[in-house]
Amino acid sequence: MSASDKRQEEVRRGQAFINEVYQKMSRIAHEFAGGEINRTQFHQLYDRYQRQIMTVSQLITESDPSGWRDAVNSGDIESTHHLRKRFTARALGISIYDNQTGMPIETIGEFTVDAELIVPMLSSYREAAAEIFQAGVRSTEMEDGTWLCFMTGTYTTLIVLFSVEPSGNQIAMLDHMHRDFEVANATFLKTGHTDPNHLALPFFAFVSRSNIETGPDE
């Protein structure tokens, strides 16, 4: 194969790689739309793919276009798997509050938000939901970059502290677990009996698994 033919072949392969990356970009757009990844994951992954395309596009125009392979495999561009893992939200802690008394029933994990901050936020969430949080499950970013999610039920409000913004699927799962919590403990909660030693708590495994699967922040 002549040098010219080799160059054309490398250009063709480089362009094929670019087309594959475009497909990956479309895929993560669908993943975000489906609640599979959070915004931080989307932005980091999309930026990685953009950088790959820009690098390869530039290199395949040079006299020796084969350099694009080394650039992609050099490790300068963080792997997709590592980015997904590093920016996956971890459920750091969960706190359950009684709707009648406004008092905490149980806390699971490392829920480090000061109660003096939670109480007025909780009050605002209940009294002015339409204006502040709208309806249903709502999330808000804290000053330190962590996220609080509020989920209100008939008897209780679930507050979850995440390491970063959670994905739609994570919120949906917690909302479902919160509903199951109220169904399982309805007899107790109706009478105001909120001793955590008598309640079924479906959140333990979620918090433990979330931290095991993703590992500590890097």
pLDDT digits (tens, 9 = 90+) for 186-218: 989 998 888 888 888 888 777 876 665 555 444
**Is the CB of residue 161 less than 8 Å from the CB of residue 97?**
no
pLDDT > 50? residue 144: yes
Mean pLDDT of 85-113: 88
Half-sphere exposure of 24 (CA within 13 A, CB side): 17
Query: Is the full-model pTM beyond 0.75?
Result: no
Do 73 and 174 lie in one domain? The reply is no
Domain boundary among 66, 86, 106: 86
pLDDT at position 216 is 46
Domain boundary among 51, 86, 121: 86
Report how many domains make up the chain.
2
Domain that residue 34 falls in: 3-86
The mean predicted confidence, pLDDT, of the chain is: 81
pLDDT at position 132 is 47
Do 28 and 124 lie in one domain? The reply is no
Do 81 and 117 lie in one domain? The reply is no
Structure tokens at 66: 């084969």
Do 122 and 199 lie in one domain? The reply is yes
Do 31 and 53 lie in one domain? The reply is yes
Do 59 and 130 lie in one domain? The reply is no
Q: Tell me the pLDDT band of 182, cut-offs 50, 70 and 90.
A: very high
User: 102-126, pLDDT tens digit by residue?
Assistant: 888 999 888 888 777 787 777 766 6
Q: How far apart are CA 5 and CA 44, in angstroms?
A: 36
Own/partner contacts of 104-110, CB < 8 Å, gap of 24 or more, are: 105/156, 105/194, 105/196, 105/199, 106/196, 106/199, 106/201, 108/201, 108/203, 108/204, 108/207, 109/161, 109/207, 109/208, 109/211, 110/161
CATH classification of the domain holding 96: 3.30.450.50
Do 47 and 107 lie in one domain? The reply is no
pLDDT > 70? residue 91: yes
